[in-house]
Structure 1
Amino acid sequence: MIKLLYGLITGIVFGFLLQKARVLRYDKQIGALRLQDMTIIKFMLSSVLVGLVGIYALQDAGLAKISVKSTQLGANILGGLIFGLGWGLIGYCPGTAVGAVAEGRWDALWGIAGMLVGAALFAEIYPFLKTTVYTWGNYGKLTLPQLLGLNHWLIIILFIAGGLALFRFFAKKGI
């Protein structure tokens, strides 16, 4: 039960930060899709980098265990295409759609409805996908540090350096 409570608290904090960063706004979503406004990209990249450090620090301290899912290129590519198509059509990604509804933007309900329909369709066609798409490019449980044979902290430092360079580039371009 305590894990559920931690998840709820984390979700509330993340939702609050989404709202404060103004990434729930439709104009920010469209700006990101058109590569004209990097607010969402910067927010998500910051979240990924902080999460990367946090998860590995917790794992190294023995407080968490990372559960790596199989790398399945077919499923990842198909899922990414569907996600991108939905985001492009409705102008909200799943998290921002829920946040936008919480702010009173009822157009985002179409995104939530689409997610529910998509989840139902996925559940129906999963047996077919499992024997087809999920077998394309299946590399098993693989992480970048394992693939490169390097310590995970070296990879994390490289990602942070890359992220900071990207932030600097966005600042110079004014986006």
Structure 2
Amino acid sequence: MNILLAGLITGILFGFFLQKGRVLRYDKQLGALRLKDFIIVKFMLSHIIVAMIGVYLLYDLGLVKLSIKPAIVGGVALGGLLFGVGWALLGYCPGTSLGALGEGRWDALWGILGMLVGAGLYAEAYPFMKATVLTWGNFGKITIPQALGINHWLVIGLVVAAAAYLLFIIEKHEQKEPAA
């Protein structure tokens, strides 16, 4: 029960931050897809950095165990393609469609319906995919630091540095752009 409660609280907080970060707005989603508005990129990069540091800190302290999923290129490519097409068609990704519905945007129901239909189709197609797509480029349960044979904090440091540089470049670019 504690795990469910922690998940509920985390989900509510993430939804709150999505709303406060203005990433639930359709114009922000469209701007991100058109590479015109980088608020979603900045929001997600900052959350990825915080989560990456937090998860590995908790892991190193022995407070959590990692549940590494297999790195399967075929599944990732197909899933990324479906995610991207759905986002481009609807203007919401799964998390933002739920948040947008919470803000009263009824068009987000299409995204939620799409997620449910997609989950059902995936369940039906799974036996076929297990023997085909989900075998293409299967590297097993491995992380980037394991594949490189280096400490995870080195990879985290490099990702944080790259993300910080990208955020800096985005900020400089946005300061040059005239306000719309």
TM-score band, normalised by the shorter chain? over 0.9
Structure 2, unmatched stretches of 5+, are none
Cα deviation for residue 104 of structure 1 reads: 0.3
CA distance in 1, matches of 2:81, 2:153: 31
Secondary structure of 1:36's partner? coil
Task: Structure 1: give runs of 5+ residues left out of the alignment.
Answer: none
- 2:108 corresponding residue in structure 1: 108
1:12-71 Cα distance to aligned partner (Å, 9 max, x none)? 000000000000000000000001111011111111110000000000000001110000
Matches of 2:114 and 2:6, distance apart in 1 = 28
Q: Aligned-pair RMSD on alpha carbons? A: 0.8
SS in 1 for 2:42: helix
Aligned amino acid, residue 21 of structure 1: G
Normalized against structure 1, the TM-score is what?
A: 0.99
Partner of 1:8: 8
Post-superposition offset of 1:148 = 1.0
1:45 aligns with 2:45: yes
- The count of aligned residue pairs is 175
Query: Any idea what the Cα deviations from partners look like across 1:94-127, whole Å, max 9, x if unmatched?
Result: 0000000000000111111111111111111110
Match of 1:28 in 2: 28
SS at structure 2 position matched to 1:67: coil
Please show how residues 63-142 of structure 1 align to structure 2 within 5 Å. Answer: 63-142=63-142
Identity of aligned residues (%): 62
Q: Where has structure 1 moved over 3 Å in runs of 4 or more?
A: none
2 CA distance for matches of 1:167 and 1:62? 31
| Distance in 1 (alpha carbons) for counterparts of 2:101 and 2:147 | 41
* Distance in 2, Cα, partners of 1:142 & 1:39: 31
